[in-house]
Amino acid sequence: MGIKYLDEYRDVEISESIVQKIAAISKKNIRLMEVCGTHTMSIFRSGIRTLLPDTITLISGPGCPVCVTAQRDIDAFIELSRVDGVVLATFGDLMRVPGTKSSLQKESAAGSDVRIVYSPMDALEIAKKNPEKKVVFLGVGFETTAPTIAASILSAKEMGIDNFYVYSAHKLVPPALTVLMETKGVKIDGFILPGHVSVIIGINAYAQFFDQYKVPSVVTGFEPVDLLQAISMLVEQVETGKPCLGNGYQRAVTSEGNVKAQSVMRDVFEPMDANWRGIGVIPGSGLKIRKAFEPFDAQKMFNVETTDTKEPKGCACGEILTGLKIPPECSLYKKACTPTDPVGPCMVSSEGTCAAYYRYHDSD
């Protein structure tokens, strides 16, 4: 199918033809996981779940960076906001995530200087204009955002800005896929792999994982036709017993990815073991700032202690992130936990599975 223009990826007739193909070839009961939070929202928003045959179940994975950020890191962000002279710069999704005892939104209301920015360069500009302040940018995200955050550190060093810091809580996607396949009780017959992340890391970054597990895997974009094509490819792989690592997003994703962005990321960061909410510590799945850039490392430059860190009581966010549960199976969902009064990050983030269910599921 040759599609050239974006509107065609939203075309109803093309979508219907793919749905008919899926229905014709789908015989086995299968569970497909979309790893990316943006995919989760796109699937719900476009009503794709309602179009698929009963043989196909879509489950959401740990693709929301705010959602997988460990509670201890959230508590550390809150403690940092209380340090005299510190300006905390963050993406908006983090503001309302509940820590053990507070949130950044509450700290801001209490007088802490917490500012929402749209890029790390915005935070660097704040540091440049306020040399008497210590500006800490909260680096939460996957491989998509890590290169721009690395570039902000390189820029700070080049410009001699010594009051700019980054708290790196980055996560890497491929190591999480391995853990999902090894998690007891999780059944995944195929992966819809993230688009934005794959633009950076390329298809080849998943090769080792695929070679080990031979599970059908397809990278795709975010429009309805993108997603339906990926599902069709995965169903065909399952039905024929011929798994492969496919690229359904060739207009944006290459085999090698964005080599320049990868280089910038490697210059500033190095892999580390990282704690994922609901999953635990995954070896080599995080990024820490290299020793050469230690003066910009907030974790090294600020002595922040987090004590009595506790997960929200009754919150099933961890199980939802691994596909063990869906939001309605959480005892708090739509009761104690709502978008206006969230208990866990899966309800807070715009990419969170609970937020998607709350907004779209009743109309599915």
Ordered domains of the chain (ranges, CATH): 1-313 (3.40.50.11740), 317-363 (no CATH)
Crossing angle (nearest 10°) for helices 146-159 and 120-129: 20
Task: Check residue 297 and report its DSSP letter.
Answer: B
Question: Residue 321 carries which side chain, given as an amino acid letter?
Answer: L
For residue 3, what pLDDT is reported? 55
What whole-number distance in Å separates Cα of residue 268 and Cα of residue 280?
25
How many C-beta atoms surround the C-beta of residue 253 within 10 A?
24
Between CA 221 and CA 6 the distance in angstroms is: 11
What whole-number percentage of the chain has pLDDT above 90?
88
8 A C-beta contact, residue 257 and residue 202: yes
For residue 8, count other CB atoms closer than 10 A to its CB: 14
Dihedral sign, Cα of residue 302, residue 303, residue 308, residue 309: positive
- H helices of 202-352, where? 207-213, 224-240, 259-268, 298-301, 317-321, 345-348
Q: For residues 117, 122, 125 and 130, what is the CA-based torsion angle, rounded to 10 degrees?
A: 10
Q: How far is CA 295 from the centre of its chain?
A: 27
C-alpha torsion sign, points 127, 132, 133, 135 = positive
Which runs of E-coded beta strand occur in 113-224?
Answer: 113-116, 134-139, 164-168, 190-193, 217-219
Q: Is the pLDDT of residue 140 over 70?
A: yes
pLDDT in tens, 290-311: 999 999 999 999 988 777 788 8
The phi and psi torsions of 69 (rounded to 5 degrees) equal -65, 125
- Residues 316 and 26: their CA atoms lie apart, in Å, by 31
Q: Could you report the per-residue pLDDT of 264-284, keeping only the tens digit for each?
A: 999 999 999 999 998 899 999
**pLDDT of residue 1 exceeding 60:** no
d(CA 64, CA 106): 22
* Average pLDDT across the chain, whole number: 94
Distance separating alpha carbons of residues 255 and 227, to the nearest angstrom: 20
CA atoms within 13 A on the CB side of 76: 21
Measuring CA to CA, which residue among 62, 71, 73 is closest to residue 319?
62
pLDDT score at 362: 57
Q: Give the number of C-alpha atoms closer than 13 A to the C-alpha of residue 227, restricted to the C-beta side.
A: 26
- Residue 305 DSSP class: -
Residue 364 pLDDT exceeds 70: no
The whole-angstrom distance between residue 66's C-alpha and the CA centroid of its chain comes to: 7
Report the distance separating Cα 35 and Cα 57, nearest Å. 14
**CA proximity to 191, closest of 235, 223, 225:** 235
212-256 residue pLDDT tens: 999 999 999 999 999 999 999 999 999 999 999 999 999 999 999
Using alpha carbons, select from 145, 138, 144 the residue that is nearest to residue 169: 138
Token pair for 289: 């700032």
Could you tell me the two tokens for 168?
A: 């790196």
Q: Using one digit for the tens of pLDDT, what is the confidence trace for 84-131?
A: 999 999 999 999 999 999 999 999 999 999 999 999 999 999 999 999
Residue 356 parent element (H or E): helix 353-360
> Residue 79's closest CA among 343, 277, 301, 306?
306
